[in-house]
Structures are given as structure tokens and as C-alpha cells.
Amino acid sequence: MTSPSAIDAASPLPAPHAVVALLPVYSQAPRSDVPLRFRASSNESAFPPPPSVIAAAQFAIARANRYPAINGTELIENLSLETGLAPSALAVADGALSLLQHVLTAFVTDGQSVVFPWRSYEAYPICVQLAGALARPIPLTPSHEHDLPAMSAAVDSATAAIILCNPNNPTGTAFGRTELVEFLEGVPGNVLVVYDEAYRDFVDQIEIPTFSATDLVAEYPNLVVLRTFSKVYSLAGLRVGYLVGSETVTSAVRRVIPPFPLTGAAIAAATAALADHGFRERMVAVVQSERARVAGALTDLGIEFVPSQGNFLWLPLGEASEALGQRLRAHGIAVRVFPGEGVRITVGEAGLAEALVGALAEG
């Protein structure tokens, strides 16, 4: 038998899976010594959760010696009451992003491919490659929207899943129910459609009549909808997400989700947040009005932007993006820069429109 020291001497260092070195790195706002005045870089809510939610989380923290329910059962029951969906159609975990990873783990095998819009949420290519799948990014249209016909056409016998992001992060463009149904009609039933609606609450219903993709799950059992508490419910710091899918999809994903995916504080906070309809409505109203104010400021400044349905605005500035990001950071405003492509500015915080004018108007 080989002694442990002989193994040590002969072995190279532990090698990560080959895909790890190829994964794109999630971007960050540029660093600066200038004190931060506006954190407009991560599509968070600018507002802390309401007192009822904080109190519920604190109550749960006082019982943190115990594990919470193994599958987040209480939250699933509350979501069921709130949405009218059967508990068997729901699964919860620590954020929509985790759920996406679990969905891909459950449904995608090595060598299959996943079609997704690009540019879109930067975690998509990371999750897809981690699942061992081939990434099939489909460019947005010149007007920064999902190219649904091209995405449909990209589906082939190797396609395991398609991701849709509506409204799209970072461009803020959105499509309606008719386009979604038309798309679903064209997708083979064995291809999973993962529909990420992290920003759906901020859609202006005059522009895109509100619809719930979750209503389509009964008709399209290959559709799975991802939702999050990180945006309109102001709970990004606790990470809670849920998915709605057919029983086949949901039961498979539940088997993949690790036990106790949510902390007791997260479950309690999300449950209390669901009950506070007034807070949600106020958040939607604030984001929509601040979005209009920032859009107005950009228009006055003569800076190109894409009309948005999310809590952010996309400035497709190409090579000028980094300079704009640096200039804003020098004025204490952190935004997300995608070098060579554009700048994404999260909206919601009062005074941001004026601060942008102050930073950019002086030539």
C-alpha cells in the first residue's frame, strides 16, 4: 500500500473541473476612493424592507438554533394561499438564480445545449456552462429586444432548455403575453422554457398589459417561471426565490434543491412581505416614477437610453461606456458598466436624476 506521504509527493494540486477556468466572471461596479452617494449598480431596491418584515425576521433569528422546515414548507403554503397555485406547483430556494441552477442541474445533461438571449442577465452563461451544457446565446434585435423567432429557430435536437428574461436585464425591454404564447406554441414539448420574470412587477401596464406567465404553466407543462423577492420586496440581502412549474418539473427540481435552502429569517421575512401588499404597490409606484425622472434627465442631457420596464435603464454607449462609468463614479454614483456595450443604471432612489445631471451636465 502507498503511504500518504508518497501520494502527496506524486500528486499535482487538486484540479478544478475544466469548465471552471472558462466561466465568465460576474462583473462588479468599479472601485473608487470617492464616497458612494448612489449605489445604482446592482438592480437592488433602494428601500429597506417594511417594519413588519424586519420584525418577522428578527423573531425568526431569535429561534436560529433550530433548522427551518426542510423544503421551506411554510413559505410554499403561504405562496399557495397568495397566488392560488397548488403547493405542488411551487418550489422555493435562496433566490431565483439558485433555482435556475437547480433547474438546469435537473434537466440538462452534458453535451446538450441551452438557448438564451444575449445580452441578458450575466449569470446565464455561467449557470449554463456549469450545468455542462453548450451555451447558445442569441443576439438581441437592434432595438435591444429578445429575438424570439431567432431563438425558436436555434432550437435543435441537442437543445434541452431555453431561457427567457422578461423584462430583460440589462436592456429593460419586455414582450407581452401574445408573443410568449406564440413562442411557446413553436417550442417542442420536450424543451424546457425557463421564464425569468425577476422584474415583472415594474412593467408599466399601459405599455405592456400585465399578465402572469404562471397562468400558462397548466397549458404548457414545459414552462417554468422564476420569481424573486430580491427586487420589489426589497429582500436581496436575504435571497428568496420561487418557481412555478408543472408537477413533473417542480418535483424534479425539489429533489435537486439542497435540504434547508432558506434560512428561518428569510422564510419569515418573505412570508411577511407577501402579506404587505401596500409596500409592494408603493415600491412599484416609486420605481416607475423615478424611472421616468431618470429617463427625462437622460433625454435632457442628450444621452441615448432604451425605454425600460425594469428598475434600471440601459445606455447603449458602446466604447464610451467605461468613460461614463468612471465619470459617474467620480461623482459618487456607482453604475454597472459592460465594457464596449453599455451602462446600466438602477433607478428608485430619490435624487438620482438630479445627481446624474450634476455629474454629466458640466461638459
Q: Which residues bind ligand PLP (CB under 6 A)?
A: 43, 95-97, 121, 165, 169, 196, 198, 228, 230, 236, 239, 241
CB neighbour class for 266 (10 Å; exposed up to 12, middle 13-18, buried from 19)? buried
- Compute the distance between CA of residue 328 and CA of residue 356 in angstroms, rounded to an integer: 7
Helix axes 73-83, 264-275, angle to 10 degrees: 10
Closer residue to ligand PLP (CB): 60 or 198: 198
Q: Which one-letter DSSP state was computed for residue 35?
A: P
Instruction: For residue 110, report the phi and psi dihedrals to the nearest 5 degrees.
Output: -50, 135
Strand partners, 162: 115, 193
Q: How far is the CB of 22 from ligand PLP (least distance, A)?
A: 22
Closer residue to ligand PLP (CB): 9 or 25: 25
Q: How far is the CB of 81 from ligand PLP (least distance, A)?
A: 21
Closest by CA position to 77, among listed 347, 271, 324: 271
What spatial distance separates the first Cα and last Cα of the chain, rounded to whole Å?
75
Q: How far is the CB of 97 from ligand PLP (least distance, A)?
A: 3
Instruction: For residue 231, report the phi and psi dihedrals to the nearest 5 degrees.
Output: -105, -85
Q: How far is the CB of 117 from ligand PLP (least distance, A)?
A: 11
Instruction: Evaluate whether 216 touches 223 at the Cβ level (below 8 Å).
Output: yes
Closer residue to ligand PLP (CB): 78 or 120: 120
Q: How far is the CB of 269 from ligand PLP (least distance, A)?
A: 13
Closer residue to ligand PLP (CB): 230 or 288: 230
Closer residue to ligand PLP (CB): 244 or 360: 244
Closer residue to ligand PLP (CB): 243 or 355: 243
Q: Which three cell numbers stand for residue 67?
A: 433548522
Closer residue to ligand PLP (CB): 50 or 241: 241
Closest by CA position to 226, among listed 151, 113, 127: 127
Q: How far is the CB of 94 from ligand PLP (least distance, A)?
A: 7
Q: Which residue is nearest to ligand PLP (CB)?
A: 95
Q: How far is the CB of 300 from ligand PLP (least distance, A)?
A: 28
Closer residue to ligand PLP (CB): 331 or 341: 341
DSSP string computed for 144-183: S---HHHHHHT--TTEEEEEEESSPTTT-----HHHHHHH
Q: How far is the CB of 43 from ligand PLP (least distance, A)?
A: 5
Residue type, 243: L
- Compute the distance between CA of residue 244 and CA of residue 200 in angstroms, rounded to an integer: 14
| Distinct helix (H) and strand (E) counts, the chain | 12, 11
- Compute the distance between CA of residue 63 and CA of residue 22 in angstroms, rounded to an integer: 42
- Compute the distance between CA of residue 6 and CA of residue 21 in angstroms, rounded to an integer: 29
